[in-house]
Each structure stands twice: as C-alpha cells, then as structure tokens.
Structure 1
C-alpha cells in the first residue's frame, strides 16, 4: 500500500472513527473504474488473439512466396547447362533466367595475360639503378606495340636505394594491379616477373630512363630492366590475347575467359580449346522437378487453408467475422484460374489450373497429375518458362497474390485487418493508461477527504471528552 500524507496523519491521530479510510479510498477508486477496465482488458485479450491470427496467416503467405522463389532460383528448378565435353568450359546460369535448347561451342583460343621476365640480377636485394620507369598499356604483336589511347601511362620513380624486390612492389602498387610483379630466384639469378591482365588490350611495355648519362644498359643501370616490343632486354614468355570461340558457328571474342551475355542469358567459363571438334551446350527440363514443386505447392496451400478453417471458424475462431480472412478465402478459391502467362499462345499453359492446380469441394487443393503431365508433354518449354523469377510465371503470380492480401492500405485485406486490430489495441492501451491515471487521482482525492473527515471526527471526540469531564466535575461539586 502506498503511504500518503493523509495515511500518516490518520495513523498519528490514533483515535478517530476506527475506519481504515486508506483502504476504503483504494477500494472505492478501484471499484469506480472496474467495469470499464475489465471491459477493455477483455477486448485487449481478444484483439491480441486477432493480431496473432492475422499475422500468422500473413506470414504463411509471405513464407510460401519466399520459399517458392528460392526453389526456382537455386533449387531443383534452377536451369542447369550441360556440356558434352566438360573439359572445354563450365556453364553458369544467373538467377531469373531460363535458357533452353542446345548450342554448338568451339573454343579456338583462351584469353591470357602478357608475362614478361627480366634479365637476371645477382639477388633480389641487388640495386636496380636510379631513374624513371614508365608503363604503357596496349596491344603487343611481335615487334609492334599499339598504345591504348584511353589508358594513361604509369610513371614509377626509382631511387638509388631501390632493389629488385622493392621495385616489384612499386610496379604492382603504381599500376593498381594492372601489372602484378614479383621476384623469382632461379638458376640464372633473381629475375623480375611481370604479369598483366587477361586480354589483348592488357599488353604493356616498360620504358626506362636512367639518371646515368650515358645509360650503360647493364645490371645496376635502370635501362637494364626496360623493355619494348621485339626487344631482347627481357623475355616475353606469353603474349596477351583475347579468348576466341564460336557459338553455333558465330565467331566471338572475350577479353577474359569468363563470358557473359550469351543467348538466353547463360554464361561460360572457358577452360580448354577444342579446335575442330565442337561440343554441345544443352539446357533441358526435368519433368520430375516440376511435378515435385507443384506437389509441394499444393501441400503448402492446404496448410494455409487448414489455418484459415481454424482461425476463421464462425464459432470460436479468432477471425470468425474478419473481412480480411473472408477475402483471403475467396481469393484462394480463384487461385487456380489466375493467369500466369498472359502471352501464352495456342495450347501453351496460361493458368495455375493448366499446371494441374485444382480445387476440392471442401475448399482444399489437389494436383491433377494428368493435366500437369499433358502440359509437360505438349509444351515443356512453356512450362519451364512459367517457373522463372521474372515479371510473369508461377512465382510472380503467387507473390502478387500474397502482397495483395497483405496490403495494410486495403481495409478488406488481411493486412488491413491486422493494421486495424493493432490500431485498436494501441488505442485501448491508451484508454487503460488513462483509466489508471483517473483511478489514482480519485484515490488521492478520497484519501484527502477521508483524512479531513478523520480530523473532524477526532476533534469532535476530543471536545466531547472534555465536556464529559466538565460535567463530571460540575456534578461532583454540586453533590458536595
């Protein structure tokens, strides 16, 4: 019990009416608001259950949509390419694309980088000489160098303390990795190895300007490490070049061995040549995978139907009279007839029903395997096109279905119901808080009033006792 100034006064007075006014004030204030508080509390309990039920159904819809998308993107429905000669390349298929058919692939050259090996020095710590090295990028062909005008030359300042090892670090850093340099020590001594990026345009020359005049082109002078196309100052171990291949007889090139943007959206990582012996890249459909995902889809839909039957039951269901739950039930009954592929032609499947989704009399779903198999037999590519993550298809259709029923701006949707219940619950929380404030204010006021009454009672009792004493005194005096 909270101790107030009124309760302290009453305790100090000791006497009085003998009534516990502090508890009386608490009981009266609580009883005054009990009906309102109990009514709102009961409503809060019901609202909490409704919020939970609506959130459960909405979560079931969004979870199914997400799982369906993941299955299509990365699961057994994700299209996979196969090569008759797996040594030639690896096939990659980005999420959301579905290449079909087969292609002839002939790789005549792999992309490679320029590799340049300098003349040897005594050790990696040997001084290289002072001056400036300049990297220029372009195409090297025999003794010809064609500079790339779009790429700036890279000057590298070399001091009199730079060694072969420190120079390698400077080349790598100054070029931003366009040329990777390191020191290799072999039977001939320490040599600077420089490697550019893949592709014909990744070639380079290394111009050397020594502080010595004249330059001596010997170890210890910077010109010893310079190189131009056709020069013998260093050994050109490998010339930079593009990958060259043909797809269905169409000649193509790529600066790297990773090739993207091919028909249907697939990519290739070239790993070997097969000149004169083309191989086949093929993309096929797996009918069993489509049947499996439709079976799982039907099972998940029936789980949602079961939840609706429980949560929106007319008697005892948390959402028994909820417009959002009713709308969801109606939408589910029309799901099989929703158009999945608006541009389908002829006998190509257009709706979820064409994929075998069917409705039972009790509102649950079943899979019409005969209808699904007929679609797979007559239009396998069209069926496969329905299982992508594009703007149309099974995933896009159900994703829109889930979003429509989750819109908080639509009062007739499940999302609108959830928002309404949450708003009402928040309003009731404020009402309960206000009632608590009003109850406390009433308790304090009653305590003050009862305290004042107790003072008056105590004062009256004191006066009465005094008068009784006087009367007794007067009575005794008269008797004497």
Structure 2
C-alpha cells in the first residue's frame, strides 16, 4: 500500500516530457500569424495591381513606339525615286520627311587623287632610307595649294624598307587618308597611292633621301609634286558638282547630305545638259492602313482597361490612374495634332477618321479620312512625321502623360504608389520576422531554464522518495 508521502511525491510528476524548442517556435509563429497573414494578403493584391498597371503602361508606350517606328521606317516613310536611275539614288534618313520633286543635273562626280610611282624590279626591292613627307591640299594643273589646317605627315624610311613595306608605312602613318599598295604590271612593281574623295584631299609627296637624287635606290625616286615628272598623276581629287532645281552646289564626296527636307543623294554618273527628276511621295493607302491598325491597337487597350478596371474582380477597379486614362482616351479624337493648320486642313485625330463609340471603343471613319487625304494630301502627309507635331508626337505625349510617375493621378503615379506600398510591406514583414525570431529566442531561453529547474526538482524528489521508502520500511 502506497503511503501518503509517496502519493504526494508521485503527484508532482517525474519530468515535463515537453519539446520546449518546438513550443517556443510555435508560440512565436502564432503570436505574429495574424499580422503576417494580413500583410502577405495585401502583398499579393499589390503584386496583382503592379502587374496590371505595368501591363497597361507597357501597352500604351509600346503602341507609341510602334507608331513612331512605322512612320520612320515603315510604309509611311517617304519613298524617293530618280527618273534616271543611272545618275543617282536617294537617301531618306529616319525622321526626315522630304516631299515634292526636284530637278537634278550632275556635271562632275567627286573623285580621289591617284598617284602611281615609277617602277622598280619587284615589291621586295629596297627603296633607300630617308624621310617622306605627305602634304594635303588642292592640286590644280602644275600648282599645289596646301591646306593650312592639316599638318604634314613625316614618314621615316629605313635602309631595310622595301617597296611593299613603304606602302604599308604610308597607309598606316596617314591613318587611311592615303591608301597605298604595290601593283606589279608589265613594267615592273609600282607604288599606287589613292587619297580620299574631294578637292581638298589632294596631296604631294616630298622625299629626302641619302643624296643620290631621284634614281632607283634613293628615296627621292618617289618624291612627287604637280610640277615634277616623277611618277604619274592618274586622277585628280575633285568635288562633286551638281545643280538642284538649277541651284549650283558642290560636295566633297558623291554621297550628298543635307538637301531640302533632309534627304540625300548617292551620285553615280553625270547628266550634263539632261536634268533628271528626283521625287518623293507616300502611298495614300498607307495612311488608311496605319489608321486602321492604330484603331485596332487602341481597342485592344480599351479591352484591357475594361478587364483590369472591372468593379468586381478587376485588379484596378478603383484606381485613379486608370480612371484618368479612360478620360484621356475618350478625348483622344479631339486632340490637336497640327496646331498650325489653316483653313480646312486637318488638325485633329478626328480629322483623320478617329472616332469614339458609345461603349468607349474606337472606330475609323474611313470617309472622313479619305476626304482629308484627297483635299489636303500635303497636310495629311505632314501629320505623319516624327517631329514636334503630328500623330506620333501627339500620341507620344499622351503615353508620357499617363506614364508620368510624378503625377499621382496618372497610371504611372498609381504604379509608383503600389510599388512604394510593396516596399513598405516588405519592410514590415522583415520587421515581423525579426520580432518573431526575438520572441522565439526569448521563449527558448525561458523554457530551457524551466527545464533545468524541473530536472533539479526531479533529482530532489528522487532523493526524498528514497528517504520516504526507507522510513516506511523501518516502521514496518
């Protein structure tokens, strides 16, 4: 039969049997679960809003970029043609919009100076040591007018240099201003030197040798001036000369730039006394095609807005930036594209046929667009450029206004707000994680201390149990 003392000691227990490490972790997690759950749910909602706002902004800016690219290089880019294709071809740089037609008469093509030296036995023949000096300027008959703005180039030639290595040194020292190579023909090996196009790129070659004079084996053999008989001038450097609408012009190269409207020409042949015509135009059907595609893209954006801005289930159902975007789209057809338009010339996107349906979608009034093209073709053409005004500039401003992050009422402002809230919530979650970990560590310390106290108590109880048992046995 168990004694009263033994019963009391048994009631105190023989150890806790509790996993205090897990208990501390569970209590700390439970303490912050509600806060963490609320913030996590808000983060998920914010992620959806950020994605939706970024998707809409991307759609608008992407449409603007695509429109600009199509105007610059697509079917709206002006196409140039030359009636006599043998004379020249046109250059239309991106962003330019040349219009109309011009007469072109090319009287002289640009050319480069070509100088051929007297011959040697082979490309490996030594040329003699000394110094060659290249001077640039204009060659005219037997005279040379040096270009004071260009420094002379001195080329050091050693006693081991051959005709081949001399050619390499000339090309390298001049930085390509004179290209030199060795040509071996029926008369032997000759040094060929070619300058760049343009009258100012003529050159003469001064040679200072060992004193043997202009004979083979001495560097002076390669010296040349317009008045000398050393070598042979095969071609003189000249500027291109032409008349555009009878106005005389020149160019140092056959690639002419900076002509009216920004266009250029690649001159290929002369046509003295027989002017040809250079003309620029855009296919009228291209305007209709672009406006049809523009309306289609706008309607895709409207569909996204309706989906993302739905009162129930829409990620941006109550977003001020989306509401502002809706209002701006509703007024898009009335936006002035050409503030300088006069009389009946088209001024707005509406004049190009853009109109709004009652449900907020867009449609193209083809009849109105056709009327504008027929009555004001040049004015319509001017609307499809990449300058300060025009369809692209107007929609680009529209896209920028709605993407502006400094405007809290814009779509860009909404996106920035959501991203800022995301960052703040991420900081709160990180702070909660720190607080939770601190609580876990504190509870672990406290529970561990309690476990030690329980263990000490159990040791004492075991001793007391032994003593009680001894006392009980002695009584019997």
Report the TM-score when normalising by structure 2. 0.93
2:389 counterpart (372, 392, 396): 392
Structure 2 residue 429 is the aligned partner of structure 1 residue 427: no
Distance of aligned partners of 1:455 and 1:222 in 2 relative to their CA distance in 1, 3 Å threshold: closer
Q: Which residue of 2 aligns with 1:342?
A: 339
Residue 458 of structure 1: how far off its partner (Å): 4.1
Structure 2 residue 49 is the aligned partner of structure 1 residue 50: yes
Q: Which residue of 2 aligns with 1:122?
A: 121
Q: C-alpha separation between the residues in 2 aligned to 1:168 and 1:455?
A: 95
Q: Which residue of 2 aligns with 1:474?
A: 471
Structure 2 residue 130 is the aligned partner of structure 1 residue 131: yes
Q: Which residue of 2 aligns with 1:17?
A: 16
Distance of aligned partners of 1:444 and 1:175 in 2 relative to their CA distance in 1, 3 Å threshold: closer
Q: C-alpha separation between the residues in 2 aligned to 1:286 and 1:297?
A: 17
Contact 2:50 2:418 in 1 (8 A): yes
Q: More displaced, 124-133 or 338-347?
A: 124-133
Distance of aligned partners of 1:473 and 1:383 in 2 relative to their CA distance in 1, 3 Å threshold: same
Distance of aligned partners of 1:168 and 1:25 in 2 relative to their CA distance in 1, 3 Å threshold: closer
Q: Which residue of 2 aligns with 1:10?
A: none
Residue 50 of structure 1: how far off its partner (Å): 0.7
Q: Which residue of 2 aligns with 1:95?
A: 94
Q: C-alpha separation between the residues in 1 aligned to 2:453 and 2:221?
A: 116
Write out per-residue CA displacement over residues 106-153 of structure 1, whole angstroms, 9 at most, x where no aligned residue. 111100011111111111122223333322222222222222222222
Q: Secondary structure at the match of 1:416?
A: helix
Q: Which residue of 2 aligns with 1:285?
A: 282
Q: Which residue of 1 aligns with 2:37?
A: 38
Distance of aligned partners of 1:247 and 1:461 in 2 relative to their CA distance in 1, 3 Å threshold: same
2:239 counterpart (242, 257, 263): 242
Q: C-alpha separation between the residues in 2 aligned to 1:159 and 1:458?
A: 100
Structure 2 residue 389 is the aligned partner of structure 1 residue 354: no
Q: Secondary structure at the match of 1:405?
A: helix
Residue 24 of structure 1: how far off its partner (Å): 2.9
Aligned 1:191-340 pairs, distance under 5 A: 191-212=190-211, 215-340=212-337
Write out per-residue CA displacement over residues 199-240 of structure 1, whole angstroms, 9 at most, x where no aligned residue. 11222222233322xx44322233322222143222211111
Q: Secondary structure at the match of 1:193?
A: strand
Residue 83 of structure 1: how far off its partner (Å): 0.7
Q: Secondary structure at the match of 2:69?
A: helix
Residue 193 of structure 1: how far off its partner (Å): 1.0
Write out per-residue CA displacement over residues 248-300 of structure 1, whole angstroms, 9 at most, x where no aligned residue. 11111111101111111100010111111111000112111111111111111
Q: C-alpha separation between the residues in 2 aligned to 1:24 and 1:254?
A: 89
Contact 1:285 1:380 in 2 (8 A): no
Structure 2 residue 142 is the aligned partner of structure 1 residue 143: yes
Q: Which residue of 2 aligns with 1:7?
A: none
Report the TM-score when normalising by structure 1. 0.92
Distance of aligned partners of 1:469 and 1:122 in 2 relative to their CA distance in 1, 3 Å threshold: closer
Q: C-alpha separation between the residues in 1 aligned to 2:174 and 2:396?
A: 48
Q: C-alpha separation between the residues in 1 aligned to 2:150 and 2:458?
A: 109
Q: C-alpha separation between the residues in 1 aligned to 2:233 and 2:268?
A: 23
Q: Which residue of 1 aligns with 2:63?
A: 64
Write out per-residue CA displacement over residues 68-90 of structure 1, whole angstroms, 9 at most, x where no aligned residue. 11111111111110111111111
Q: C-alpha separation between the residues in 2 aligned to 1:475 and 1:132?
A: 128
Q: Which residue of 1 aligns with 2:84?
A: 85
Residue 461 of structure 1: how far off its partner (Å): 4.4
Q: C-alpha separation between the residues in 1 aligned to 2:150 and 2:17?
A: 102
Distance of aligned partners of 1:220 and 1:362 in 2 relative to their CA distance in 1, 3 Å threshold: same
Q: Which residue of 2 aligns with 1:8?
A: none
Q: Secondary structure at the match of 1:197?
A: strand
Residue 465 of structure 1: how far off its partner (Å): 4.5
Structure 2 residue 399 is the aligned partner of structure 1 residue 402: yes
Q: C-alpha separation between the residues in 2 aligned to 1:138 and 1:440?
A: 82
Q: More displaced, 286-295 or 199-208?
A: 199-208
Contact 2:59 2:301 in 1 (8 A): yes
Q: C-alpha separation between the residues in 2 aligned to 1:190 and 1:22?
A: 95
Q: Secondary structure at the match of 1:196?
A: strand
Q: C-alpha separation between the residues in 2 aligned to 1:466 and 1:231?
A: 129
Write out per-residue CA displacement over residues 379-423 of structure 1, whole angstroms, 9 at most, x where no aligned residue. 111111111111111111111111111111111111111111111
Q: Secondary structure at the match of 1:24?
A: helix
- Structure 2 residue runs of 5 or longer lacking an equivalent are 1-12
Structure 2 residue 177 is the aligned partner of structure 1 residue 178: yes
Aligned-residue Cα RMSD (Å) equals: 1.8
Contact 1:16 1:455 in 2 (8 A): no
Residue 54 of structure 1: how far off its partner (Å): 0.7
- How many residue pairs were aligned? 464
Distance of aligned partners of 1:455 and 1:117 in 2 relative to their CA distance in 1, 3 Å threshold: closer
Contact 1:285 1:381 in 2 (8 A): no
Contact 1:16 1:457 in 2 (8 A): yes
Q: Which residue of 1 aligns with 2:6?
A: none
